[in-house]
Structure 1
Amino acid sequence: MNELPPTGASVFGAVHLGYVVVQSNRRSDWRRFGADAIGLHVDELDGGALRFRLDDRTCRFLIERGPAEDATTLGWQVDDHETFERIVARVADRGVPIVEGTASEAALRGVERLWRFPGPKAIAQEIFTVPLTTPEPLRMLSSGWVTGEAGLGHVAIVSREPEAMRDYYRTVFDSRLSDYVDENISGLRMKIRFLRVNERHHSVAIANIRGMKIDPIRTRVQHINIQSATLDDMLAAFERVTELGFRMAWSVGQHTNDRELSFYSVTPSGFELEVGWNPVVIGPERESTWEPTTYRGISIWGHTPVGDTVLGKFAQFRQALRSVTTPEITVPQLAEASAGAGHVVPVVHSLRSRPGGDLR
C-alpha cells in the first residue's frame, strides 16, 4: 500500500507544503478576505500582487494578477540538498521537464531559488530548500497559526483519476495513506484518500469522482486548509467571515478521521479555505503503528452546508455528467509503478552540475 518508488531512499518526512500561489484579478477582495476576515498578515507588493504571512516566512500565500481565479501552484519545502537531488532525479529520470524559476519568481514566493515541474490537474509543483524569513512583526488579527514541521496546511482536490494522483505523490514525495472517508453527496458516492508526507495527518486529500465525465468543481483545488493556533482564533475568524459578508460554505464542525474542528469559507476566487484547529498529529510514536482506516462520513458533527456549496454544484451537474466528456490532466510518467529507463532533460543536467552542488 505504501511501497516506495525505486529512485533512492524515502523522502517521507523531509517535505513540507511551503506556499500556495493563487492567480486572481480580485485583489481588493482578497486583501479584505485574507486580512480582515481570516486574520492573516498582508503585504502589498509592487505590480499589484499580495502576500499573506502566517509566521516568520515572508510568503505563505502569493496572490498574483491573472484571470485564472484559482490556485495555480503548490510550493514544497525540501529539508536538504540530498533529498532535493533525489526528488529531482525521480522527476527528470522519467522524462518530465523540470525548470528553474526566475529570480523574480523566487523573490515573490519568498525563497532563494526554486524548480518547477508539472502536476495533476495542471497544478504546478515547485520545490525549494531555503525559505526567506523576516524579523518584521506580524500584523494580523489572529494570535498565530500552526506550521513548522507539519508545513502550511493541506490541499484537497477533486479527481476523476484518483489512482494516478495518488501514485504521483507517492512517486515524487513518498506519500503515505492516512485513511479513507466514504461520503455521499447529492446521491453521488465519493471515496476520499488522505495522503501525508510528514507528521501532518494529510497534506493532500483526493476526492474520487470516478465515472463522472466532467469535473463538477470549476477550480483545480476544492479547498486549502490552514490551522489556527487556538480554538478562539478559529471561532473569531468564523465570526468575521460571517460579519463581513463573505460566503460561508460549511459551518463549524468536526471531522471523523483527523478530528479537526473547522469551518469552510469561499475565497474571492471561488475555491474554499478551511480554517481548522487541533487535528491529529502522526508523530514518530504513531507513525510506527499507524494503520489506514475507512470512515463513513466526513464529519462527526456540524459542517452543515451554507448557501451554494459543493452539494449544489454536484446537483447542478448531474445531467451534464451523462453527455459531456472532458479529459483530466495527469502526469502519467510520475504515476507509474516503476521508474522508466531514465532520460535526464538538459536543464536538470545543467542544474545538477552546478559547482559545489548548491541547489538552493
Structure 2
Amino acid sequence: MNPQTTAPSVFGAVHLGYFVIETNRFADWRRFGTDAIGMHHDDLSSDLMRFRLDDQECRFLLRKGPAEDVVALGWHIDDHASFEQIEARIRAHGVPVTRGSQEEAALRGVERLLRFPGPKGITQEIYTTPVQADQPLRMLASGFVTGDSGMGHVALTSTKPAQIRGYFNTVFDARLTDYIDETVSGAKLKIRFLRVNERHHSIAVAAVRGLPIDPIRTRVQHLNIQAATLDDVAQSYQRVHELGFHMALSVGQHTNDKELSYYARTPSGFEWEVGWNPIVIDEGTWEPTTHQGISIWGHLPVGQTIVDKLDQFRAGARSLARTEDTVAALSGNAIPEA
C-alpha cells in the first residue's frame, strides 16, 4: 500500500534549507561567496566553513573533499508530525534512513537530523528546528529572501526525469508547476519545475528529449538564491565580473517564474543563479502550462568557447556508460506526464 493514500500531504511543510558542498578550493569559494555573491562567511576549521543568508546559522556548509559538487540537500520540515510522516514513508518503501549525530546536526545548525539516499547520489537530509545565529550578519548584500518559501532552488539534469519527479512526489508530495521546452545547440530540452510550497519551484529537472545523455559533469546543474533587491542582483553581478569569476549567463528574465537573474560559475564548476522577484504560486488558481524558451529576454552565454561545447559533448558521451541512480524504491509515484 502506498503510504500517501492513508496519510495527509506534507506539501507546504517542506522548505529547502541548506546545501552541503564538497570542495578542495576553499580560498576561491571564500572569495566567491563573500566578495562576489555577498554572503556572510564563517570559518569553522581548516576543513569546514559556512555561509549564511539570514538569521539561520548555516545555509551552505562547505567541507574539504574531492567531489567539487553539491553532495547533500537539507530540507526544513515545519513540525514533528510531518517529519515523522516523511521518515515513515521512506522506511515503508524499504529505503535506509540514518540519524545524524549531534556533531553533524551542529555543523548544519539544525536539530533532529535524518538523512537518506537521493537521486544522482545527492544525499537528502531533513531537519526540524533550525538554530538561530547569535552573531549579526556581516555581508555585502542587503539581504536574501528565505522564509516560508525556503531558500531558492536546485536544478538537475537527468536521463530519467520522470523517476526524479516521482521521487520528490513520493517523499515530499511535490507538485508540478510547469514545463519549459528549449533548444540549446540543436538539442531539445524539456525542463520540469516542481514545488513543495508557495515558491514557484524548489527543484528543476532538465532532460534531453529522445537521447539518454546527461551533458553536465556535476550532480547539480545550478543552485539559486533569491536576492532581496534588484540592486543586490546588479551589484553582485558587477562584483563577479570585477573579481574575475566566470559568468555563465548574463542578466535576463525567465518565462515561467518571471525571475530576473544571472548565472555565475562557481569554483567547483556548477552554476550559481542570483535572482530577484519570482512569482509566488496561488494554489487555488494555478494550472501547469508549457513555455517555449527559458527566457523572455537576456540570459545570453558569456565567454563560451568551442572548448566548452566540446567538454559538454564529452560529458554527454561519458554519461552513456553510467547508470543514473534514481533511488528506484522511491521513484515510482510520478504523476503522468503532460
Q: TM-score, normalised by structure 1?
A: 0.88
Report the equivalent of 1:307. 303
Contact kept, 8 Å, 2:76 with 2:127, in 1: the verdict is yes
Q: Paired residue for 1:333?
A: 329
Q: Which residue of 1 aligns with 2:285?
A: 289
Deviation of 1:209 after TM superposition, in Å, equals 2.4
Does the CA contact (< 8 Å) of 1:144 and 1:228 recur in 2?
A: yes
Secondary structure of the residue that 1:295 maps to in structure 2?
strand
- Distance in structure 2 (CA, Å) of the matches to 1:104 and 1:88: 21
Question: CA separation in 2, counterparts of 1:248 and 1:176?
Answer: 31
CA contact (8 A) 1:305 1:311 kept: no
- Does the CA-based 8 Å contact 1:185-1:314 persist in structure 2? no
Aligned to 2:18: 19
Native 8 Å contact 1:162 1:208 kept in 2? yes
- CA change 1:56–1:75 in 2 (3 A) is same
Mapped contact 1:161–1:210 kept (Cα < 8 A): no
Task: Among all aligned residue pairs of Structure 1 and Structure 2, give the percentage whose two residues are the same amino acid.
Answer: 62
SS in 1 for 2:321: coil
Deviation at residue 320 of structure 1 after TM alignment: 6.2
1:298 maps to which of 294, 308, 311? 294
Q: Which amino acid aligns with 2:124?
A: Q
Q: SS in structure 2 opposite 1:219?
A: coil
Kindly indicate whether the alpha-carbon contact (under 8 Å) linking 2:157 and 2:205 is maintained by their aligned counterparts in 1.
yes
- Equivalent pair of 1:160/1:211 in contact (CA under 8 Å): no
Query: What is the alpha-carbon distance in structure 2 between the residues aligned to residue 45 and residue 323 of structure 1?
Result: 36
CA RMSD after TM alignment: 2.1
> 1:132-281 residue pairs with structure 2 within 5 A?
132-209=131-208, 211-281=210-280
Distance (Å, rounded) in 2 between the aligned partners of 1:242 and 1:264: 12
Listed as ranges, the gaps of 5+ residues in structure 1 are: 339-360
Please name the residue that 1:344 is paired with: none
Equivalent in the alignment of 2:70: 71
Aligned length: 333
Question: Cα deviation per residue 1:223-254 (whole Å; 9 max; x = unaligned)?
Answer: 00000000000100000000000000000000
Distance 1:170 1:4, change over 3 A: farther
Q: Which runs of 4+ in 1 moved over 6 A?
A: none
The TM-score, its normalising length taken from structure 2, stands at 0.94
Give the 3-state SS of the residue equivalent to 2:86 in structure 1. Answer: helix
Map of 2:82 onto structure 1: 83
Letter in structure 2 aligned against 1:224? L
Alpha-carbon distance, 1:134 to partner: 1.4
Q: Is the 8 A contact 2:214 2:316 kept in 1?
A: no
Tell me the secondary structure at the aligned position of residue 89 of structure 1: helix
> Aligned partners of 1:36, 1:165: CA distance in 2, in Å?
35
